[in-house]
Structure 1
Amino acid sequence: MYRRLFVLLLLLSSYNAIAQSNLLKKFPKGYSPDEVGKLIAYRFVDAKHALHAGKWISYPETFYWTGALKYAALKKDTKLIDLLQNKFEPLFTTESKYLPIKNHVDLNMFGSLPLELYQITKEQRYFDLGLPYADTQWQVPNDAQKAEKDWADKGYTWQTRLWIDDMYMITIVQTQAYKVTGDQKYIDRAAKEMVLYLDELQKPNGLFYHAPDVPFFWGRGNGWMAAGVTELLRYLPKNHKDRPRIMEGYIKMMKSLKEFQSPSGMWNQLIDDPDCWPETSGSAMFTYAFIIGVKNGWLNAKEYAPAARKAWMAMVPYVNDKGAVSEVCVGTNKKNDKQYYYDRPRRTGDYHGQAPYLWCVNALLEK
């Protein structure tokens, strides 16, 4: 009798595991990552540059480009890879003026894009273009300010500013550098920086203020942290000394995000304010963190797979038939004014939203 009961429980457990797994594999027509990904990725091919300060390729464009490349690689879509490479080619020649300078956290992250192209094509010129963006993030310039030098003296990047956005900007270029070189120093840098930000900025509820002097849980700001810590954990060696601390911060954040997910499946512009409007870019970043967590066994699939699916099903209707995501908060500087976050303009097709949707697509497509 006990043996039968044991076998029955084992079968039920196995069935539940398969059922949870299928939640992130099978979707109704119009909701599959293949369909959504193709719409959004191909939209970028003919899209205009979104320049930082009107001068250099911006971080939203960088991440949209990279997301489209990863989608193309996952789908083995050689046509799309060629189109995206061709779009990049002028940056070596006639559009070289758009290559970001290497003096700010929002500019150095550009290196993650050519390093992605290098991983796909193995062309050395992409490696040579991308790696200096990771290296200069830890090379203190002669005209650095005292605060920047102080951070560097402690082993952190001189570009440290303790804004939560940084934890994607810094993490992504250092992690990419680690992936293409195998040099431990790059992943060590990203991990050390992440521990600093977790220790300094994570609140008891698991979330993060936009900055120490801005006491609001802004959606996309927290999204950058959620995506950054997720991306880092994907490649951080299992025996790395900082992994337990980083995983602790990740789990704490995911638990809070699950609690603040709205009944619709989305998250609001201000995460803890139920009266605020649902915002797509932050919602997509949180969904990405859930999907990767479930697939890697960091999160309990029984709890988080349904939450991830619910979020994805809520997100897709915001994508129009041209592949443009709506209800995206525009670029947002920090400000100690709650109404400021309420009143931020919302756009359709803003690259801040296009990229995170592709992160979700790619996470769902990965085996």
Structure 2
Amino acid sequence: MKSRRKQSFMSVLLVCALALSGCKAISQEPAKKGIVISKDMKWSDKMALTLMKRHPESYMLDDAKKPKWDYVHALVLHSIEELYKKNPDPRYKAYIRGYVDELVQADGSIKTYEFDKYNIDLVVPGRLLFDIYAETKDDKYLKAMQLVRKQLAEQPRTASGGFWHKQIYPNQMWLDGLYMGEPFYAQYTLTFENGKSFDDIAKQFELIQLHATDPKTGLLYHGWDESKEMPWANKETGNSPNFWSRALGWYVMALVDVLDYFPKEHPKRPKLIKYLNNASAALAKYQDKTGLWYQVTDKAGGKDNYLEASGSAMFAYAFAKGANKGYLPSKYKKLANKAFDGLTKILIKKVDEDGGITLTNCCQVAGLGGNPYRDGSYEYYVNERKKDNDPKATGPFILAALELNR
């Protein structure tokens, strides 16, 4: 009798469990399919929801097949984090949290994070941890931030004190690296170290400004090799041979983001604002009549050069934020709006049936050295592959749309 009762009780439990799991499947499935992208939405929401619809799990951004601690995911998710502050849609928060919790383990270690490669690109995802830790007070996020901070403490440096871009690129500073390392470093030192490292952060900008700026155009070269030993490096200056718009974009974005954390009374702050003004004035001279910038910044009309999305979106963001914060004259807001018009009217060529948008003419990747060898030549930059809705363009596009309230 007892065993029969037990059997019927187990059957009831099984039916309940199946019913519940059925309900769960029904309620979760439409959530992924149920993203509606209306033509009346702001551009920031349109782009964020497009990406969420096409990449239902945040680790799938950039068509990744498995979770990876990576700067491209961090860039897009940071932009969605900023969007959430303006439009607190819970889906945005869940999307960011999904990525972080996939990678940050209970003990604060980070899956796929290759600490000992000393790749400064891998510092950026640490930016996603501040708000989550502030909200949850869960120790694992603090430990993960401390781990990323430890990388910066041990990051190899040039003789003059600049962070190497990666362990495999000795004595080299790239413009990209300023964005990859400094905003996290600035937020961390302000939040946890009473601002003790602001001088070191300013020094990174001082070095690249001093060595990589071209006196003729005011633009900054993509990379600087302090040893002057790399085949791509100018034997007198150590600089790479060309101006790449996305590298310049990383640089001006780094400046406007780092300034969020620099205390108003810090003696180096006016210097950083001056660097932003100098770089912006140089860039404004090369803005095309469409509002966009070319892949190789100063070579409009050159063979195979093209109006490129990521650099243009980065400049739009930095100009708009710089003007909004009072670092740049107000005319830069107009230039940012002009750039944003170019992005939306020229580079978003079609809208999908579901309302999703696609930003075209995004350079997928470019670097210096490595294997196969990248020589930094004009031909190298204009022939690197392109990818629609590349994260290096979509993240800054969202940030620019937010600053411009478009």
> Does TM-score exceed 0.5, indicating one fold?
yes
**Pairing 1:111-122 to 2, within 5 Å after superposition:** 111-119=126-134, 121-122=136-137
Alignment of 1:1-367 (within 5 A): 29=40, 32-40=43-51, 43-46=54-57, 48=60, 56-93=68-105, 97-102=111-116, 103-119=118-134, 121-139=136-154, 148=156, 151=159, 155-157=161-163, 161-181=172-192, 183-204=194-215, 205-212=217-224, 213=233, 214-275=240-301, 276-301=305-330, 303-317=331-345, 318-319=347-348, 320-321=351-352, 322-334=356-368, 335-365=375-405
Structural RMSD (CA): 2.9
Which consecutive unaligned segments of at least 5 residues does structure 2 have?
A: 1-38, 166-170, 225-232, 234-239, 369-374
Give the deviation of 1:221 after TM superposition: 0.8
> SS in structure 2 opposite 1:332?
coil
The answer as to whether partners of 1:113 and 1:130 remain within 8 angstroms in 2 is: no
Cα distance between partner residues in 1 of 2:63 and 2:190: 27
Structure 2 Cα separation of the partners of residues 169 and 300 of structure 1: 26
Identity percentage of aligned residues: 23
1:44–1:365 distance in 2 versus 1, CA, 3 Å: farther
The alpha carbon displacement at 1:270 in A equals 0.8
- Bigger mean CA offset, 236-245 vs 320-329: 320-329
Are the aligned partners of 2:320 and 2:404 in contact in 1 as well (CA < 8 Å)? yes
Provide the secondary structure at the position in 2 that maps to 1:98: coil
- Cα pair 2:367 2:376 within 8 Å, conserved: no
Quote how far apart the aligned CAs of 1:282 are. Answer: 0.5
SS of aligned partner of 1:209 = coil
In the TM superposition, residue 155 of structure 1 has moved relative to its aligned partner by 5.0
Distance 2:252 2:295 in 1: 15
259 and 207 in structure 1: CA distance in 2 versus 1, 3 angstrom threshold: same
Corresponding pairs, count = 328
1:255-275: CA deviations, max 9, x gaps? Answer: 111111100011110111112
Q: Which amino acid aligns with 1:222?
A: L
1:56·1:97 contact (CA, 8 Å) conserved in 2? yes
Deviations 1:74-94 (A, max 9, x none): 311123212331343221359
Shift of 1:115: 2.8
Change in 2 beyond 3 A, CA 1:274/1:119: farther
- SS of the residue corresponding to residue 162 of structure 1 reads strand
Q: Deviations over 1:178-214 (max 9, x none)?
A: 3532621243332121111111112222211112322
Query: How far apart, CA to CA, are the structure 1 residues paired with 2:161 and 2:285?
Result: 36
CA–CA distance in structure 2, aligned partners of residues 307 and 73 of structure 1 = 25
Counterparts of 1:267 and 1:172, CA distance in 2: 25
Offset, 1:137: 0.9
Distance 1:208 1:89 in 2: 37
Residue 63 of structure 1 contacts residue 113 of structure 1 at CA under 8 Å; is this kept in 2?
no
Structure 1 residue 361: Cα displacement = 2.9
TM-score, normalised to structure 2, is 0.72
- When residues 216 and 358 of structure 1 are mapped into structure 2, their CA distance, relative to the original with a 3 A threshold, is same
Q: 1:36 to 1:274 in 2, by over 3 A?
A: same
The answer as to whether partners of 1:330 and 1:350 remain within 8 angstroms in 2 is: yes
- Partner letter of residue 175 of structure 2? I
Larger Rg: 2
Q: Distance in 2 between matches of 1:361 and 1:124?
A: 34
**C-alpha contact (below 8 Å) 2:43/2:398 kept by paired residues:** no
Q: Report the AA paired with residue 401 of structure 2.
A: V
Separation in 1, partners of 2:378, 2:157: 33
Aligned CA distance change for structure 1 residues 139 and 260 (closer, same or farther; 3 Å) = same
Q: 1:64 deviation in Å?
A: 1.3
1:38-79 per-position Cα deviation (integer Å, ceiling 9, x unaligned): 434665543515599x99422112211222222123311123
* CA–CA separation in structure 2 for the residues paired with 1:51 and 1:97: 19
Deviates more, 1:120-129 or 1:281-290: 120-129
Contact between 1:172 and 1:228, CA under 8 Å: does it hold in 2? yes
Q: Normalised by the size of structure 1, how large is the TM-score?
A: 0.79
Q: Does structure 2 conserve the Cα–Cα contact (< 8 Å) formed by 1:37 and 1:361?
A: no
